[in-house]
Structure 1
Amino acid sequence: MMTVLGCIVYEHNIWLVLVAVLLCGTGSWVTSRLFSKTTTATGKQRIGWQAMTALSAGVAIWCTHFVAMLGYDAGVPIGFDLSLTVVSLLVVLFGNAIGFAVAVSNRHPIMPASGGAIVGLAISTMHYTGMMAYRVQGIVSWDRTYLIASIVFSVGLSSAALHFGMRKGSNVMAVVLTLAIAVLHFTGMTAFKVEPMYVDGSFSNPDSLWTLAIAISGMAFVIVACGLVSYLIDNGTRAETMAHLRQMALYDALTGLPNRANFNERLEKELALADAQKIRLAMIGIDLNRFKEINDTRGHHVGDDVLTDLGLRLKHLVREDKGEFVARVGGDEFAALFRIQDDEMVGINRFLKRLETVMFTPINIDEAQIVAGASFGVALYPDDATNKETLVSNADLAMYRAKSQLTEKRVCFYEAGMDKAVKARRCMAADLRKALSRDELSIHYQVQTSVSTGEITGYEALLRWHHPERGFIPPSDFIPLAEENGLILQLGEWVLRTACAAAASWEPACKVAVNLSAVQFAAGDLPKLVMSILLETGLPPHRLELELTETAILKDRERAFHMLRQIKSYGVSIALDDFGIGYSSIDTLRSFPFSKIKLDRSFIDESHSSQEALTIIRTVLALGKGLKIPVLAEGVETREQLSLLESEGCGEAQGYLLGRPASLDQILATGRLRIIERPLPLPRTAIHDPFGLSDVTIGKTGTDS
């Protein structure tokens, strides 16, 4: 050991030794970082990182050796064999490439150490090839002990370096690899002995050697620096990519607000904080009131613009330092959290007021002002729930209560009774599924008459449900429930089949009107169903009138109009129901030739108290006359209303004044209708039948009455 130190101190230029050590340490550190990339990369990326690692290590090792050799004082003139010098560089480059490739092959736990041993042999081969290129005027001899020791140290330390690189990390690898290179060189130089043989006129130029050493060191640092820059650029790109992926994973792309995953993560943290600090947490469910309407009437791009604007407002509204948090958790659903730091509800009420302001402030889009509006449901932890799932569920219950209320109340706090209401609704849905098989459903008919003559023009079929325990349940309660649960398809088919079968035997042979749900347009083949029932029941198509609201066709107008044209081609009438409210537009009347317009009852109710309602009645009647579409007014309950309609030229009317909904037996008892022998099904020539259904035997698929 002392002999090696003596070689370094007394036989080398200490400054060049320091340069060589600095170069060796820097190169080893960069090499270890690059090597760490090869352990995680795959495919072509791994090959690229392996090449960069081998280049960085090879240049650092070779230049360390060369600079240290230039700093060695042999005591005689020296020179270098160019060919062997180049060979020494190639040996270390290719040897390192093979060693690093073996180390990361992952075929066996011993492979990193084996690859390191190959690197150590490459370093040793490079060193002694370089020493063969080192020309001195004298007789060269070697101390075999130091020579063998240098090779052993090189192989052992290099093997340990790559083993640590795979197990301990890059810093340990850098230190051990530096030792492997330095110990090999200086132990090998200790083994090198020269007996001078001077030749007259021969000399070495120390300044030239210094210049060459500095030039080589500079180039080595440049190459090593390139490897370092590649590592840093990749790390920076990786960090940016991870940040981008995190943004995509935890934030909504449209609004920039936290998404559902982010919200769930934050909610768990807030619940833990509430437990630790003994405070309350408010969970607020938010649902936009008019988002579907905005999408349907103005297009999805406007809906996206509305959400983007609301997202920007909410981001500016939230005060993180006050424990506020807002996320978009669904299409038109948002959720908010608020820490209640005191016993009073002042803070949460102020926060809710700010949220209301955001949701109800008009949004200017395409020179129009749009008000999205929202309903808010609030549940408190731990008052209303003791875990995350229950808290979220209770906030949703409160929000849907707020949404269902007809008053202007926008915010609803959770109450224990809401659970009972939900359970009751679920029980009703279960009972409704059984209602058909239990014969609890029936059809009542409401008469439709000519305003001018009083002649009966038809009957509207209205579904009724008499529950064995709850008694009569209004359609306004169970029809929305049937639509939510998909039962409306089965109910709608039953009503259509039952009404058509009954009307086929009526005398006089007037029309029967049947309502269609929006769900029936979205699912199933409605034209085929109508054709099948007409053929089965024998009802002439011109005696069937299907009623639908504009909301039923707004979701997919083209598909809905295509189905309606098919149905109308059979001879079936199509009536536009509830005209004048909601989405009603002239464009819909222009897009499809409806057989009838049904004026909503709300205008008839207000006709004697509201000039605006009277104006709308006159406008709709004038519109119907201009488009040559008959108009039927609903909700006629007084003589004055009927007289008004007659004076304004309305064609048909229905309402309590003319007849309340009644069962078929009750109507037969009045003598307005009588039953004749049911006719045979129509011949195939009587109906335009694009499906060829009349060529097959059609069995009943629903419950008949």
Structure 2
Amino acid sequence: MRVLSCILTEHNLWLVLLAAFVCISGGWITLNLLRRAESTHDLQRSGWVFLTAVAAGSSIWCTHFIAMLAYEVAAPVTFDPILTMASFLLAVFGCAGGFAVTLSRLPRVAPEFGGAIVGLAVTLMHYTGMMAYHVDGIVEWNKGYVVASVLLSVTFAALALHQAIRRPWRFAGIAGLVLFVLAVVSLHFTAMTAVSVTPLITGANLADPYAMEAMAVAVAGGGLLMIGTGVASYMIDERASRESIQKLQHMALNDLLTGLPNRSSFADYLQNEMEHAEEDGVKLAVIGIDLDRFKEINDLRGHKAGDQALKAIGRRLARLVKDGEFVARVGGDEFAAAKRFRSQNELLDFVARLEKVLFEPIRIDDFETVTGASIGVAVYPDDGIDQERLVSNADLAMYRAKADVGRAVCFYESKMDEAARARHMLAQDLRRAVELEQLDLHYQVQTSVSTGEICGYEVLVRWHHPERGAVPPSEFIPIAEESGTILVIGEWVLRTACREAASWDAPYKIAVNLSPVQFAHADLAKLVHAILLETGLPPARLELEITESTIIADKSRTLHVLRQIRALGVTIAIDDFGTGYSSLDTLRSFPFDKIKLDRSFMSEVDQSIQAKAIVRAVLTLGKSLDIPVLAEGVETDHQLEILRVEGCDEAQGFFLGRPKPVEQIFQVEAANGDEEASFSGRVPPQRMRRR
């Protein structure tokens, strides 16, 4: 009651309210700045602690000074400037020490201990300020109130920082602010209750109350300016932090190149949509998208052009999505989409829009291209009830679409799982095919078009599966390349073919196909050299065939390897010429020993003027570059006659001889104790012995 009586009867209440406003404002920004300091480290934390201390010390000192001016005493009053400034510095640096301890890694009671230091700093500030308060009168102190003021300040300050640091819930901030204000206010007014002044008649003029009020307002203005500086710093950092967080979140959830959501965002979206679909009784389509000809853009035009193509596709996809639709980039040239729908027509419309934008031409610098895409669709809950299953089934459907040249969109069917499992089992069996001696070599004859003489044989690998029987190369070769088994198979084919050819007396060439995987993962030149030395086959009798896509994959490395192989004396042929890239730059970059014209042109050469013109052009090109040309896929006498007229060098095909095991090519006959063999084909028989 004595304290309340002191406030109500011995103070200017208007100035008391002004002091309270400054204290509350300062306390609010102080606690907010302290929390910001807590989230930082090292030098940055030190900066925030200092700023917090300035805001806290300024508000505490201003509260004290304004309340001092509000104290009404019937005696002249003056202030010692040195002690007044000292009280301000004590408030600032005392708070800085308390806040530093609060945020330190000292014992568990650091916040409470730091709060106690802040409470002591408030006490020192107040009583130093009272020493600066000079009044013409007899000043008496009540020690009990002095001790009580110190205990209240220390206790409330410790509790305030305890709430601010250890209590993260919503109302902890309000409680901390109330306690902080009580630490300052309880100290000041309890201490003011402890003092009593008996005025002396000295003849000095009493202080002008209006001047005192003006001074209080000026102090409040200065204090609020300091507090405002803290507020501005907090707001600037808050906005910068929020913008940084938003930017980091955007980078984490979006693809940097296209701006579309990334794989993580797509997974989160699917999870939420699956839950909503179950609640709302609707369906959700998961769509896998893989660009068909993106690699060609990268290989022929460079990665910059590939990036431009992806950006263009990303912009188109972003523009087409409507409510309930989602599109993301989940990999290099892979995209994914999701669509919530009730009727099948809604899904078909979305898929049609996707197909339209993916097949629209894209202009990149000075050329125009169409990437195209393979699209696979799986539907929740029909095709799966968990996210992983749905995405997997959409991928299965997408790969089915990619395998079917005439279809861009494929919906998931349960039998696709069976095909995938069968493919996986086939890959496992293929890994042991060499070890179990399930592979065999067949040879297809290559003859001179003008004379009909045998020039050599192309080596073709065959797989006889113990349960499935003969597995076509078109089926197991892609699997071997995907799994890496082609390295083992390729080495076995090369070694076996060289060993068998070395046993022939006639010096026919053998042509062995090489996979792009062998160039990427094997020391091919060293392997070829070792096999030639091991089998004793002359290098001139070995011809290695590569497709142009092998060179495009890594041009500089591939050409380097080819030069190493050619230096051994082995010849190099470019296979399937006329399809795919067929760029003249490839022929210019490496002097091939033979061009093999793709079989697709021979199948149409009888009826198609265009096919015949292309055949003539390739033959003319070969003559100009002094490179012999071999035509594949000759199946009729008329086709062979066309090649003869056009001046083709060599040919192979079913008309000239089907691929056969070496035992069937050479029919063994016993004569005079020697083994004789004659070629059984449509070309003139050739005589040769077999060792």
The alpha carbon displacement at 1:29 in A equals: 0.5
Question: What residue in structure 1 maps to residue 675 of structure 2?
Answer: none
Question: What residue in structure 2 maps to residue 223 of structure 1?
Answer: 226
SS for the counterpart of 2:328 is: strand
The alpha carbon displacement at 1:313 in A equals: 0.7
Question: What residue in structure 2 maps to residue 324 of structure 1?
Answer: 325
Distance 2:43 2:125 in 1: 28
Question: What residue in structure 1 maps to residue 446 of structure 2?
Answer: 448
Distance 2:32 2:464 in 1: 78
Distance 1:386 1:122 in 2: 64
SS for the counterpart of 1:140 is: strand
- 1:511-541 superposed Cα distances (whole Å, 9 cap, x missing partner): 1110000101111111111111111111111
Question: What residue in structure 2 maps to residue 609 of structure 1?
Answer: 607
Distance 1:234 1:69 in 2: 35
SS for the counterpart of 2:56 is: helix
Identity %: 55
In the alignment, which of 178, 195, 206 is matched to residue 181 of structure 2? 178
Distance 1:374 1:542 in 2: 44
Distance 2:499 2:93 in 1: 91
Task: Tell me if 1:306 matches 2:309.
Answer: yes
Aligned ranges 1:165-244 → 2 under 5 Å: 165-168=164-167, 169-244=172-247
Question: What residue in structure 1 maps to residue 671 of structure 2?
Answer: none
Report if aligned partners of 2:578, 2:598 keep a CA contact under 8 Å in 1: yes
Aligned ranges 1:481-560 → 2 under 5 Å: 481-560=479-558
The alpha carbon displacement at 1:478 in A equals: 0.6
Distance 1:434 1:348 in 2: 44
Task: Tell me if 1:94 matches 2:93.
Answer: yes
Distance 1:255 1:76 in 2: 78
Distance 1:149 1:437 in 2: 94
Distance 1:527 1:198 in 2: 115
Question: What residue in structure 2 maps to residue 269 of structure 1?
Answer: 272
Report if aligned partners of 1:450, 1:653 keep a CA contact under 8 Å in 2: yes
Distance 1:346 1:208 in 2: 83
Paired amino acid for 2:605: S
Aligned ranges 1:673-688 → 2 under 5 Å: 674-677=688-691
Question: What residue in structure 1 maps to residue 351 of structure 2?
Answer: 352
- 1:532-585 superposed Cα distances (whole Å, 9 cap, x missing partner): 111111111111100000011111100000110111111110100000001110
Report if aligned partners of 1:598, 1:634 keep a CA contact under 8 Å in 2: yes
Task: Tell me if 1:74 matches 2:73.
Answer: yes
Question: What residue in structure 1 maps to residue 338 of structure 2?
Answer: 337
Question: What residue in structure 2 maps to residue 592 of structure 1?
Answer: 590
Question: What residue in structure 1 maps to residue 473 of structure 2?
Answer: 475
- 1:626-647 superposed Cα distances (whole Å, 9 cap, x missing partner): 1111111111111111111111
Task: Tell me if 1:572 matches 2:567.
Answer: no
Distance 1:675 1:249 in 2: 71
Task: Tell me if 1:417 matches 2:415.
Answer: yes
- 1:306-353 superposed Cα distances (whole Å, 9 cap, x missing partner): 111111111111012xx11111111111111111224xx111111111
Report if aligned partners of 1:120, 1:159 keep a CA contact under 8 Å in 2: yes
Deviates more, 1:667-676 or 1:555-564: 667-676
The alpha carbon displacement at 1:208 in A equals: 3.5
SS for the counterpart of 1:200 is: coil
In the alignment, structure 1 segments of 5+ residues that lack a partner are 678-705
TM-score by length of 1: 0.93
Question: What residue in structure 2 maps to residue 701 of structure 1?
Answer: none
Distance 1:73 1:15 in 2: 12
SS for the counterpart of 1:435 is: coil
Report if aligned partners of 1:506, 1:673 keep a CA contact under 8 Å in 2: no
Distance 1:363 1:499 in 2: 47
Distance 2:540 2:264 in 1: 55
Paired amino acid for 1:95: G
Question: What residue in structure 2 maps to residue 667 of structure 1?
Answer: 665
Question: What residue in structure 1 maps to residue 674 of structure 2?
Answer: none
Task: Tell me if 1:629 matches 2:630.
Answer: no
The alpha carbon displacement at 1:499 in A equals: 0.8
Task: Tell me if 1:152 matches 2:141.
Answer: no
Distance 1:212 1:627 in 2: 101
Question: What residue in structure 2 maps to residue 32 of structure 1?
Answer: 31
Distance 1:72 1:427 in 2: 94
Distance 2:41 2:506 in 1: 83
Paired amino acid for 2:49: Q
Question: What residue in structure 1 maps to residue 670 of structure 2?
Answer: none
Report if aligned partners of 1:507, 1:673 keep a CA contact under 8 Å in 2: no
- 1:264-310 superposed Cα distances (whole Å, 9 cap, x missing partner): 11111111111112222111111111111221122111111111111
Supply the RMSD in Å over aligned alpha carbons.
1.3
SS for the counterpart of 1:293 is: helix
The alpha carbon displacement at 1:676 in A equals: 4.9
Task: Tell me if 1:656 matches 2:654.
Answer: yes
Distance 1:156 1:427 in 2: 75
Question: What residue in structure 1 maps to residue 55 of structure 2?
Answer: 56
Distance 2:165 2:135 in 1: 42
Distance 2:316 2:174 in 1: 48
Report if aligned partners of 1:596, 1:632 keep a CA contact under 8 Å in 2: yes
Deviates more, 1:25-34 or 1:421-430: 421-430
Distance 2:162 2:687 in 1: 98
SS for the counterpart of 2:574 is: strand
In the alignment, structure 2 segments of 5+ residues that lack a partner are 668-677, 680-685
The alpha carbon displacement at 1:201 in A equals: 4.2
Distance 1:472 1:640 in 2: 32
Distance 1:201 1:190 in 2: 25
- 1:615-667 superposed Cα distances (whole Å, 9 cap, x missing partner): 11111111111111111111111111111111111111111121111111111
TM-score by length of 2: 0.95
The alpha carbon displacement at 1:206 in A equals: 3.4
The alpha carbon displacement at 1:233 in A equals: 1.4
Distance 1:235 1:84 in 2: 37
Question: What residue in structure 2 maps to residue 375 of structure 1?
Answer: 374
Report if aligned partners of 2:76, 2:204 keep a CA contact under 8 Å in 1: no
Distance 1:431 1:253 in 2: 42
Q: 1:305 to 1:673 in 2, by over 3 A?
A: farther
Report if aligned partners of 2:461, 2:473 keep a CA contact under 8 Å in 1: yes
Report if aligned partners of 1:119, 1:155 keep a CA contact under 8 Å in 2: yes
The alpha carbon displacement at 1:182 in A equals: 1.0
Question: What residue in structure 1 maps to residue 249 of structure 2?
Answer: 246
Task: Tell me if 1:291 matches 2:290.
Answer: no
Question: What residue in structure 1 maps to residue 404 of structure 2?
Answer: 405
The alpha carbon displacement at 1:109 in A equals: 2.6
The alpha carbon displacement at 1:386 in A equals: 2.3
- 1:133-161 superposed Cα distances (whole Å, 9 cap, x missing partner): 10111111112222221111111111111
Distance 1:99 1:29 in 2: 17
Distance 1:468 1:28 in 2: 85
Question: What residue in structure 2 maps to residue 42 of structure 1?
Answer: 41
Paired amino acid for 1:199: T
Q: 1:18 to 1:675 in 2, by over 3 A?
A: farther
Report if aligned partners of 1:251, 1:257 keep a CA contact under 8 Å in 2: yes
SS for the counterpart of 2:201 is: coil
The alpha carbon displacement at 1:675 in A equals: 4.5
SS for the counterpart of 2:223 is: helix
Distance 1:251 1:265 in 2: 12
Distance 1:83 1:139 in 2: 22
Task: Tell me if 1:259 matches 2:252.
Answer: no
Paired amino acid for 1:417: K
The alpha carbon displacement at 1:467 in A equals: 1.7
SS for the counterpart of 2:605 is: coil
Paired amino acid for 1:667: I
Distance 2:80 2:520 in 1: 87
Question: What residue in structure 2 maps to residue 703 of structure 1?
Answer: none
